[in-house]
Amino acid sequence: MAGKHTADEIVTNFLLNTCPLRPQLTRHAVQAAVCCAHVATLHPGDDTEADLIPLITGSVAEFYNEPMLPLVGDVDVMYHRSTELAIPRGHPPPTQLPAEFSDYVQVREIVDSDFPGYVYLVLCYLLTECTDDGMHKYTCFTYDTGNKLQYLSLSNHLDNADTQSILGPALQFTSNTYILSVDYVHCVRCLSWLPQLGR
């Protein structure tokens, strides 16, 4: 019927009229950028050739509108090594990678576990860069081991943290220097959609 608004039109109009676009720069966004810059300067103690690639996630990264109530409770930073990659089990290893990856990359297959929501990352391949023409092409070698992923801890590198605690998969840091606490989560980059997520 003409003149009638659906529920989603009413909600959309409400949000557009009451939640203006977030300003380009907030204190939370600045803190998140500083945390990412700090992580990017670190190198794992067991692999000095590896870089840490940070990514801001969570509420600081996801809210493009200014909410009516402040919903940012902490800064979430995920990071992965430039020398690690995950692929779904049974998929062939890639022959090209984005520029952020190192000259050699350990590839781990994602294998289901007996616990819902959890998987194993089993070391299966080693990729080594074989060209210098800017294409980042790789040659693949097979591992015969069944090594599981070893997690990297940032606790030895973040000396400015006043307190540190483990919160699920994250290392949570609080500091008088920052407004909010910071959760750092080590992850492994996967370039394809995981079949486990489609279930």
pLDDT in tens, 98-153: 889 999 999 998 888 888 777 888 889 999 988 766 667 888 999 776 555 544 44
The model's pTM: 0.71
Pairwise CA distance, residues 112 & 103, whole Å = 29
pLDDT at 174 over 50: yes
Residue 119 and residue 110 in contact, taking contact as beta carbons nearer than 8 Å: yes
3 state DSSP class of 55: strand
Torsion sign, CA atoms 74, 190, 84, 82: negative
Domain boundaries, the chain: 28-198
What average pLDDT does this structure show over 151-176?
64
Q: Of 4-8, 93-97, 112-116, which range is least confident?
A: 4-8
